[in-house]
Amino acid sequence: MGWRLILNKPFDEALKLFENGVSITQKSDNSYPFLFSNLAHCYLFTNNFEKASNIYYNNTDLTTNQMPWADAVVTDFNQFIDLGFKNEHYLEIAKKLKKKKLLKIDK
């Protein structure tokens, strides 16, 4: 449901959903890393780059969607790019995650 909200662009609604999900799971474990990456995406699309970058850069030890965190984040960015979602921070984040080569935008 949350991913569909992101893809349909009611980012504030998706943000509330993922903040709630992270607050519940964070108390117990990191079994649902996609909650963290999707929360970061919501922050990114609601112009809260500082919160987004903290999540992107501080969870690199996680695996999500059966791939390393950084690969999954850039894969999501590529999907957003394919769907026409623009954001000035994709390249900066990909560079810092050392995944610039995976990003499908002009370098």
Return the domain boundaries, the chain. Answer: 2-102
Of 105, 70, 102, 69, give the one whose Cα is nearest residue 88: 105
pLDDT digits (tens, 9 = 90+) for 4-35: 999 999 999 999 999 999 888 865 566 788 99
Check residue 31 and report its DSSP letter.
S
pTM: 0.90
Spatial distance between the Cα atoms of 3 and 42, rounded to a whole number of angstroms: 10
Quick one: tokens of 58? 């501080």
